[in-house]
Structure 1
């Protein structure tokens, strides 16, 4: 048997008005969406040229950045590492052997037709090798007693390395000691001690900071550094005679 749906008829005037109101609200929503879409389409059509230019520029920047890293930065770093090899060899020989001053000078300025650390810094600016060359150059200048250049190059070195990062700060402290700028030296020793927490650089620079603090008459600060060595780094080399320095700091504090 055929069936049919009975047409629904509003029972009263209030219900009819409600249905009309709901229909009107829905229509307004769709009308608003249509208008917004039309405005968007009109804006895109009107400014299509500029939009394409902007998209093109963004794409060019992204692609350019990728191309630079792949075809410029990587080869540049590879060349820097190759050119740095002989200078690094001179530096290692100076640290471990004799004729230190002449070898440190060769590490800085080059020899046998090869680049020195200063050449690497100049020719390969912005590369990791140039950054590392600043550490080597600063340390070489420190050994050669050229303390101002040591501070300059070591300050330009940036690293997250567990040891080198602290050593660079500590070497700056050593340079300031030689320049008789003990307040600056204390600051850098404390920075070096706090920068990394390990059994090598931390107690070493706490000890240096404590000694400079004593010389500056800052007994409380010196005592704090020495006590940290005693309590937190009891197996370190610096802990072996730290009680002597704790005694000196206590005497100075009680004056």
Structure 2
């Protein structure tokens, strides 16, 4: 290692102190460029193509997102007016959430359209379709994402899949857990576990509310439901 370091140091001194040696090095590089001109041009062209392609894709996505947001304006209006059919399928002039979500998938607006569509489908009693739409939704907003998990739980519960629903409610509660929403989701989880006769699991999630969210509005219900679940769990055993 020491010999190699000395060698490199000597080479450096030679290049600094001997202009001819430096010129020779550059001459060698020039020869390399001449010999490999075609290959180097191909590499530079490929790099340029990647950069230009990335730029064009970004602009395309930005344009798509803008178009999707504009398309959503009327659909959101129908949603807020509680006209779920028009919100989902459009009104003949403007597209609905379903088409927007599919046509602009991969954009922020298209992603949000899946959330709206999931809620609207839940209200229309189309629970499996609602579940599918809500499961496509993915957000960095931890409150909205937790809400989506809880709504998936609602869709599963309506399909009689109570254990799966409970798991979704727990997932919602644990997604950036907080004192405002986590107790609500845990309470729903406990009720779902009870609906599937898993009283032990129900008692455990009720207990989480009592121990971790003592100031929550749900704590009194959690205490009552916990006692009931524990009693039923003992009977089952």
Q: For this structure pair, what is the TM-score category when the shorter chain's length is used for normalisation? A: 0.7 to 0.9
Question: Residue 160 of structure 1: SS of its match in structure 2?
Answer: coil
RMSD in angstroms over aligned alpha carbons? 2.8
Aligned equivalent of 1:227: 207
Aligned equivalent of 1:124: 104
Where in structure 2 are the equivalents of 1:1-255 lying within 5 Å?
A: 30=11, 43-70=32-59, 72-94=60-82, 103-111=83-91, 113-255=93-235
Question: Residue 208 of structure 1: SS of its match in structure 2?
Answer: helix
Question: Residue 81 of structure 2: SS of its match in structure 1?
Answer: helix
* Distance change (3 Å), C-alpha of 1:208 and 1:134: same
Aligned equivalent of 2:18: none
- Mean CA deviation greater in 197-206 or 164-173: 197-206
Give how far 1:134 is off. Answer: 0.3
Give how far 1:164 is off. Answer: 1.3
Quote the Cα distance in structure 2 between the aligned partners of 1:118 and 1:212: 29
Aligned length: 222
Instruction: Please give the TM-score of this superposition, normalised by the length of structure 1.
Output: 0.77
* Unaligned runs of at least 5 residues, structure 1: 1-21, 95-102
Quote the Cα distance in structure 2 between the aligned partners of 1:132 and 1:235: 33
Give how far 1:196 is off. Answer: 2.6
Aligned equivalent of 1:100: none
Which has the greater radius of gyration?
A: 1
Instruction: Please give the TM-score of this superposition, normalised by the length of structure 2.
Output: 0.82
Quote the Cα distance in structure 2 between the aligned partners of 1:120 and 1:86: 11
Quote the Cα distance in structure 2 between the aligned partners of 1:57 and 1:26: 37
Give how far 1:218 is off. Answer: 2.7
